[in-house]
Structure 1
Amino acid sequence: MIVLDRENRIFTLHTLNTTYQMKADQYNVLLHTYYGSRIDGCDLSVLIQCNDRSFTPNPNEAGSNRNYSLDVMPQEYSTCGVGDFRLPSVELELKNGSHTVDLRYKGFRLEKGKCPSEGLPGFYGSEDEVETLVIVLKDAAAQVETELYYSIFENYDLITRAVRVVNQGTDEIRLYQCASLCLDFLRDDMDLLTFNARHLMERCPDRGPLRPGILSVGSVRGISSHQHNPFVILCDHDADEDKGMCYGAMLLYSGNFEAAVECSQFENSRLVMGIHPYHFCWTLEPGQAFTAPEAAMVCSPDGFGQMSRQYHRAVREHLLRDPYHGRQKPVLVNNWEATYFDFNADRLIDIAREAAALGIGLFVMDDGWFGSRNDDNSGLGDWQVNLEKLPGGLEDLALHIKDLGMKFGIWMEPEMVNEDSHLYRAHPDWVLHVPGRAPSRGRGQLVLDFSRKDVRDYIYEQMKAILSGADISYLKWDMNRSLTDVWSAGLSARRQGEVYHRYVLGVYDLLERLRHDYPHILIEGCCGGGGRFDGGMLYYTPQIWCSDDTDAIDRLRIQYGTSFCYPACTVGAHVSAVPNEQNGRVTPLNTRGITAMSGAFGYEMDLGRCTMEEKNEIRRQVKNYKIHYDLLHYGDYYRLSSPYQDSVYTAWEQVSPDQREALVNVVFGCAGTAPLFCTLRLKGLDPALQYQVDGTDSFYSGKALMNAGYPLPSVQGDYPALQIYLRAAG
């Protein structure tokens, strides 16, 4: 709900549990006055105190009033070069060489529904579900207008933000920074929680207190990256799963980004989030506009758990565009770890036959089916079937798979090319490269210049021929290296600062074309696993391969960190063989299944090598996954313990929206002598209901399970796991 006080120029945005407020002051500076628990009917600008502070300049309009300085005022979109020395939200260069930006309030408008961002991902909603406030700021001297978009998803405590900069002058301007989100606080006694690490161990939580100066995370790799995720949390020092104020900020962008927090000299703090300024420079001709990616904020007065569940609900219902919406996705099997590049049609059909007998519904053929692709040094870019491996082509293979009662999917890596390919030999200028410099390689490949429409059009025609030539229902879109040598033959020297962003827009463009032409195909995103796991990609690919690390114990950590923002239904998670390929660890098949089941479930192993006992276990897992599909994908997610703490077990729980069902998952660590007796306290249940445990004669009240706990059975061996199903009686 948006409440306007036109006389005092106060704008108040209410969600179910929170309030966000701003005010245009006497100098037309748009001040940020409050964000937190819901408060009705107040002008919260009274919280802002003005005093004469030394070495804090005063705007010209203030005259002799030394009590007013932009350097101490909480601003809604921070300026540059006019007296605020903290993190700027925007920086531009005018014809005269100046970089000063002074934005002042001009007006506002209200719009029903969600304003679409042309060429960019974003949350969506109908006019009945969403309302949008657009506040217009203007720099009169520079003739630049900036529109701030705020869309309110009231029931989710979600506020999305976007920014549009318009050149209204007669000369070109050069935009060096355009943040999507600026959030000022009249406090700095908070922790910053970021999600970091590396390939094979993505999105590990890292928490620490703010300190004087700037703390930042980001990526200059051309992708959102394995190293840092474009989602951060600011929170109370004592905030935990169930209590404390938490502010989540999610950037819907898949390229270079930065999230920076600065603590000022006066114990205030500012979060600025958006496209990374590194090598970014966008030229705006007169009349042209630039739109920054969307950011999404959730404020939770009740800890991390409530914040996560609000993000999960909003992502599921207003971001994903899933062809399987309202119906179950099939369990899949991928041949990669079973065969790598060494396969033929008969070998693939054998794997599919084994999978079909176990109840698996989708067979995915991974890398190696095209061109001269027998290793990772050749063939990328030549998207024609290798008829030596698949004599009947994709159509024949897909028909064999269909005859087994399964759907068929394929792997592609559209953004990449090998030098040993027909495509590269014909068009060497189509790769990102700097003239006069030898290129850098990653996984033996170069990066196609997706900032160029002619390159995208060529790749799309190749993909279209493949996807239209066989009955294909799934596409794994991979991307296996970061961007280097970022220079485009399609742009002038003056516009090379646009390449990184134009590349991301090009990826989005091609994905949107695929979605339009093949709405039935489920696209799973992948970037060396989880290197591009972000809200931007989820708009186009409703599930993403969470990590190339398939070890069940490592996955507990990876999926735990991922769950702070992203729902389980988006997390590609597979059972693989042991010893695990990445770390050599041996874990029970049951444990691997329970861990992978809290995601988009599948297998990545040679099922023909499984024993009869293992096949029976897989058959049971697949059946169990189908039975509990709605709970696993759409249930409210509760983190019951952390895999980063020194604990006997890691536990999590999914609860149905009506609180009548719950699925509790527990994975234990290494075996030890004299094991402890463990009692697990559950969450999210109805305290007044009686819950039956696993169909037995055991009943517990919801109040007892949440306050006293559930006694976990004794287990033996390394890394055992159990799954407990609760159903309300009556």
Structure 2
Amino acid sequence: MGVIVQEQTGLFHLQSSDMSYLIQIVDGYPAHVYWGGRLKHRESMADLLIHTPAGAGLDRLPQEYPQYGSGDFRNPAYQVELEDGTRITELKYDGYRILKGKPPLTGLPAVYAEDASEADTLELILKDAYSGLKVVLLYTVFADRNVIVRSARLANEGKGGLRIRRALSASVDVTGKQDMEMVYLSGAWAREGNITRRPLIQGETRIDSKRGMSSHQFNPFAALVAKETTECHGEAFGFSLVYSGSFEAEAEVDSFGSTRFGIGINSFDFAWLLSPGESFQTPEAVMVYSGQGLGDMSRTYHRLYRTRLCRGKYRDEERPILVNNWEATYFNFDADKLVAIAEEGSKLGIELFVLDDGWFGKRDADNSSLGDWYEDRRKLPGGLADVAERINRSGLKFGLWFEPEMISPDSELYRKHPDWCLHVPGRRRTEARWQLVLDYTRQEVRDYIYDSLSAIFSSVPVAYVKWDMNRGLTEIGSADLPPERQAETAHRYVLGLYELLERITTDFPHILFESCSSGGGRFDPGMLYYMPQTWTSDNTDAVERLKIQYGTSLVYPVSAIGAHVSAVPNHQVGRMTPLDFRGDVAMSGNFGYELDLTKFTDEEKETVKHQVAFYKQIRGLVQKGDLYRLKSPFEGNESAWMFVSEDKGEALVFCFQVMAVPNAPRRTLRLAGLDPELEYEVQSGHRGERSIIGGDRLMNMGLPLAYEQKDYESRWFRLQALKPGKD
């Protein structure tokens, strides 16, 4: 396993325990040979080598990092402009290097290997002799994961300046596979995570973001699947970009049925000046192969991102159960009200109180004070330290909301530094939610934010931070960049954000950071590198959350999915759902509450006590177990999923019926991921009944399932494997 090279044939074989990826050097061009299930490496693999039709040229060659202008008329992976205005380069193979482990990417988040034995990295070196452009293609293959991690590093080794106009992280030409489909996540604010599946026909299928953030509309992820691929069967090829800015992902089917897929920084409104001696590193694309459907692909991403992308103290720790005051009070609160909610939470077993928006400056609505990160003494006479200590005395840790990337025109900071926002001289400054975006390309801006936040973290016992970002980038320009570098602003913004996050999370490792962007507007692997969980959506309605959480799990682990119980009628859709139903949906993620606990009835308090106590029993399994999606909320009235421990000795099943069904037929639910040789004690959370059923029966015959004749019904079942000889 690892990287095997056959220099005489120009073949590179990247091999893991269950996957192979083959590259061949053809006439000096790296060509894609194969990606799929593991192949034995043989001395002679001539039958696999690429032989292009005579006279076909580059337009028929399945390339690894294609160029435009020299015979290939499909979408290129990169394009560079020379000083004379020409845009023709031709990269040719110039050698390779193999490294143990996985090197970090300077200034960018990336998947990592904790030990060099976990992975091998291949560097393919390409050069354009005329311009001096050098491109190093990086491929990391993990020994025990069906994962290839790709990126590209472009360097200027010539004497003149180069301008990068396009630089994707990965490009793969899939040949010999007809009737492919593209699966991706689409949506909008409060409707994130919709699973969209589209057949690929001749032409282009594209998703992207031009918002300076990964966006609610499209997630930086897509999968190519066979037409017959389902949750459990068939091939899936996943592509996930570790990046938090504007991106593009595109599948192009040519006239011969071959599919070229590329993913990376959005080339729209992007350019990068590369002076002699400088280099540019693309973000990395994490490519996952599954021969057992979308579910297996998802679990590969989950394990990798949970343990080799997320970092720090909270990577492996169970996450706390929290209560957030936002939907309880909005901007209308004082210290006593916050403490009252916390004290009630303590009685119910909740572990963390989060003070959301409205605690700083003169913030009585969302039209002022962003950037003025000092407490409002009208609401908090004793300051943040006083309210935090009072909440700590009640038994809860203290968390705090920030929106550090934004500035309000009505703020002391803006009046002092009106040029600190992204803007173009002479153009209007587009406000969204009465706010502008700080120019994170500027070191002094990042230093101000670091100093403001670190002053609070050093004086207040903050255990958790919700880091919000509530609008996209407009008038993307920087007063700190020269004219020839203005098109670099959006990417430099992201690099500046990463630099700040690296600094602040390193200096305050005890704080659990949660990313947020009006919910899921920046739910991407780049942010997970710094913050191990994300507020999945501002939509807290339990019925809508079935789809949002199910869809998000296509690529992201449950440990990253923030999920809260909120009040009814729901504030986003007005729906009335039972507390049990809301709890079961939220317990399928990082669990918490977002309502006024002091308004609960005695009966509701007892329900919450049971929910909190139950989640403390199961959260290790929910947050670290393998997720199996059993019934899709996108396909009917029911939803179901389950969590299975690594040793298959424990499992938890959640089932949901949205609307009651009259005279319902007898139903069973086929489980997954169990050991067919083991017997399981099955506990029904609804009836309290216990039974012993074999893993083979649970997966092949199914679990009997019945709902009451009520709308919004949920069930859970807890499974424990019996030791041999126990009955």
After TM superposition, the structure 1 = structure 2 runs for residues 282-361 of structure 1, keeping only pairs within 5 Å, are 282-361=272-351
What is the Cα deviation at residue 264 of structure 1?
A: 0.7
Greater shift after overlay, 667-676 or 419-428? 667-676
Distance 2:93 2:338 in 1: 63
Distance 1:423 1:705 in 2: 61
**Counterpart of 2:462 in 1: which secondary structure?**
coil
What is the Cα deviation at residue 266 of structure 1?
A: 1.3
Task: Tell whether the 8 Å contact from 2:24 to 2:50 is kept in structure 1 after alignment.
Answer: no
Task: Tell whether the 8 Å contact from 2:213 to 2:472 is kept in structure 1 after alignment.
Answer: yes
1:554 to 530, 544, 553: 544
What is the Cα deviation at residue 328 of structure 1?
A: 2.1
The AA in structure 2 aligned to 1:41 is: H
The AA in structure 2 aligned to 1:719 is: Y
Distance 2:51 2:542 in 1: 53
What is the Cα deviation at residue 317 of structure 1?
A: 1.0
Task: Tell whether the 8 Å contact from 1:328 to 1:629 is kept in structure 2 after alignment.
Answer: yes
Matched, 1:154 2:143: yes
TM-score of the pair, normalised by structure 2 = 0.97
**Counterpart of 1:316 in 2: which secondary structure?**
helix
After TM superposition, the structure 1 = structure 2 runs for residues 686-705 of structure 1, keeping only pairs within 5 Å, are 686-694=675-683, 696-705=689-698
**Counterpart of 1:71 in 2: which secondary structure?**
helix
What is the Cα deviation at residue 408 of structure 1?
A: 0.4
Task: Tell whether the 8 Å contact from 1:322 to 1:522 is kept in structure 2 after alignment.
Answer: no
Distance 1:682 1:538 in 2: 30
Matched, 1:583 2:573: yes
The CA deviation string for residues 511-532 of structure 1, in whole angstroms up to 9 with x for no partner, is 1111111011010000000000
After TM superposition, the structure 1 = structure 2 runs for residues 460-479 of structure 1, keeping only pairs within 5 Å, are 460-479=450-469
1:70 to 54, 58, 61: 58
Distance 2:49 2:203 in 1: 23
Q: Percent identity?
A: 47
Matched, 1:176 2:165: yes
Distance 2:178 2:706 in 1: 45
Structure 1 segments unaligned to the other structure (5+ residues): 53-65
**Counterpart of 1:464 in 2: which secondary structure?**
helix
What is the Cα deviation at residue 44 of structure 1?
A: 6.6
Distance 1:45 1:643 in 2: 45
After TM superposition, the structure 1 = structure 2 runs for residues 660-699 of structure 1, keeping only pairs within 5 Å, are 660-694=649-683, 696-699=689-692
Cα RMSD between the aligned structures? 1.1
What is the Cα deviation at residue 702 of structure 1?
A: 0.2
Distance 2:271 2:435 in 1: 27
Q: Could you tell me which residue of structure 1 aligns to residue 495 of structure 2?
A: 505
**Counterpart of 2:492 in 1: which secondary structure?**
helix
1:379 to 349, 366, 369: 369
The AA in structure 1 aligned to 2:430 is: S
The AA in structure 2 aligned to 1:3 is: I
**Counterpart of 1:311 in 2: which secondary structure?**
helix
**Counterpart of 1:437 in 2: which secondary structure?**
coil
Distance 2:69 2:475 in 1: 32
Distance 1:524 1:155 in 2: 29
Q: Could you tell me which residue of structure 2 aligns to residue 36 of structure 1?
A: 36
What is the Cα deviation at residue 323 of structure 1?
A: 2.0
Matched, 1:6 2:7: yes
The CA deviation string for residues 555-595 of structure 1, in whole angstroms up to 9 with x for no partner, is 11011111111010000110000110000111111111111
Matched, 1:91 2:79: yes
What is the Cα deviation at residue 697 of structure 1?
A: 4.2
Distance 1:556 1:44 in 2: 50
Query: Against the structure 1 CA distance between its residues 44 and 216, is the aligned structure 2 distance closer, same or farther, given a 3 Å change threshold?
Result: farther
What is the Cα deviation at residue 80 of structure 1?
A: 1.7
1:138 to 127, 132, 155: 127
Distance 2:312 2:328 in 1: 28
Task: Tell whether the 8 Å contact from 1:135 to 1:148 is kept in structure 2 after alignment.
Answer: yes
What is the Cα deviation at residue 395 of structure 1?
A: 1.0
Task: Tell whether the 8 Å contact from 1:21 to 1:44 is kept in structure 2 after alignment.
Answer: no
What is the Cα deviation at residue 47 of structure 1?
A: 5.9
**Counterpart of 1:429 in 2: which secondary structure?**
coil
Distance 1:697 1:354 in 2: 34
What is the Cα deviation at residue 51 of structure 1?
A: 2.1
The CA deviation string for residues 664-688 of structure 1, in whole angstroms up to 9 with x for no partner, is 0001121232123211010011001
Matched, 1:599 2:589: yes
Distance 2:589 2:179 in 1: 36
Task: Tell whether the 8 Å contact from 2:306 to 2:315 is kept in structure 1 after alignment.
Answer: no
**Counterpart of 1:169 in 2: which secondary structure?**
coil
**Counterpart of 1:444 in 2: which secondary structure?**
coil
Q: Could you tell me which residue of structure 2 aligns to residue 397 of structure 1?
A: 387
**Counterpart of 1:620 in 2: which secondary structure?**
helix
Q: Could you tell me which residue of structure 1 aligns to residue 711 of structure 2?
A: 718
The AA in structure 2 aligned to 1:335 is: N
What is the Cα deviation at residue 300 of structure 1?
A: 0.4
Query: Against the structure 1 CA distance between its residues 90 and 105, is the aligned structure 2 distance closer, same or farther, given a 3 Å change threshold?
Result: same
The AA in structure 2 aligned to 1:97 is: G
Structure 2 segments unaligned to the other structure (5+ residues): none
What is the Cα deviation at residue 451 of structure 1?
A: 1.1
**Number of aligned pairs?**
714
The AA in structure 1 aligned to 2:36 is: G
1:101 to 89, 97, 108: 89
What is the Cα deviation at residue 629 of structure 1?
A: 1.4
Q: Could you tell me which residue of structure 1 aligns to residue 217 of structure 2?
A: 227
The AA in structure 2 aligned to 1:73 is: L
